Amino acid sequence: MSFFQGLNSISDDNWIINGLLYTALSVGVLKLTSIFLNSASLLFDLFVLPPVNFSKYGAKSGKWAIITGASDGLGKEYAIQLASKGLNVFLISRTQSKLELLATEIETKYKVEVKILAIDFASDKPSNYELITQLIKPLPVTVLINNVGQSHSIPVPFIETEESELRNIITINNTATLRTTQIIVPFIINTLKENRGTRGLILTMGSFGGLLPTPYLATYSGSKAFLQSWSSALAGELAEYNIDVELVISYLVTSAMSKIKRTSLTIPNPKNFVKSVLSTVGRRGGAQERYATSTPFWSHAIIHYAIENTVGVYSKIANKLNLSFHKDIRKRALKKAARLAAEKKE
């Protein structure tokens, strides 16, 4: 190789190295810019932007919201807070007596119309869906809250999950949610055709159990992960009809399902959680990387955002931590059950 050929070779190598350096620098700048913008959006969503005005969803104009799993916990709060905004509410749940009490409370306090339907979604009877169809047919519906859901009684290995529990989780969390939505969407579309300028809204309850694959809650985790993909896909389909579709992700909330009674910075009560949901509809909160998804409660949002931007929700580290956490919960639950059984014998 001649002297000049050697110079040309060095020059070529430098060009390649410089190109790689500039590419790496550009990617780094883009990544940092993305993190900065997402972080700013997170803070604005949670702490700066004003609450959403539900007049765009037909509040105070005679429109109806349908809430499943409406007699307790989050469902009850959705009913109360939507009624307080001026929407009539149609409450669907399993227990007639609880529905009647809640209906009386809402009618008396908020002066809106209330209808109730007591059905057990776990039964998966076609007659349940026929009843829903018949009862909502005359109503101008604009809002659907898919809140009905079921988890495991305690954390349990998948192979030890009772068949009845497995079937109930899938039937309630998935089949019931899909069939109810499939029935109600055409009614929302018809309402919007007759009320130009009004939008529709479908909120479906997700969970950190679906956000992160969760050992010892495998069936529940899978059912909620399914709702993530389904809800995002539905959002794409219904956008042209002016229907906003959103999956709402929550960490723990005090409720009968979670069996937690005390609130904390990371565990709100149903009232405060639902307030955060309805105040931030259409904003992503902690779910900055996900379409048609929101993690609205401030501490849940920060936890979600931190996990997503560090180890990642599908990482081995997150999976192992989740496994250890739920193994410990199962151990304590079994110990408590054994103690209670022993006390009964005495």
- Nearest in space to 73 (alpha carbons), one of 215, 258, 212, 214: 258
Q: Up-side HSE of residue 257: CA atoms within 13 Å toward CB? A: 21
Pull the structure tokens for residue 18.
Answer: 């410089």
CA dist 257 and 300 (Å) reads 18
* 8 A C-beta contact, residue 248 and residue 292: no
Is residue 220 part of the annotated active site? The answer reads yes
The backbone region for 259, taken as left when phi is positive above 0, alpha when psi lies in -120 to 50, beta otherwise, is: left
Helix, strand, or coil (residue 111): coil
- Which residue has 């931007």 as its token pair? 309
Cα(301)–Cα(279) distance, rounded to whole angstroms? 14
Strands laid side by side in the 141-146 sheet: 114-118, 88-93, 64-68, 141-146, 200-205, 243-248, 293-294
Catalytic residue from among 57, 110, 216, 220: 220
The one-character DSSP state at 282 is T
Residue 90 DSSP one-character state: E
Instruction: Compute the distance between CA of residue 342 and CA of residue 250 in angstroms, rounded to an integer.
Output: 36
Neighbours of 98 (CB within 10 A): 17
Q: Which residues contact 235 (CB under 8 A, 6 or more apart)?
A: 244, 245, 246, 291, 292
Q: Among the residues of the chain, which ranges form H helices?
A: 3-43, 73-84, 96-110, 126-136, 163-170, 177-194, 208-211, 218-238, 270-279, 298-308, 316-345
Q: Measured between alpha carbons, how far is 199 from 207 in angstroms, rounded to an integer?
A: 26
- 207 assigned to a ligand binding site: yes
- Catalytic residue numbers, as ranges: 220
User: Binding site for substrate, residues?
Assistant: 207
User: Binding site, residues?
Assistant: 207
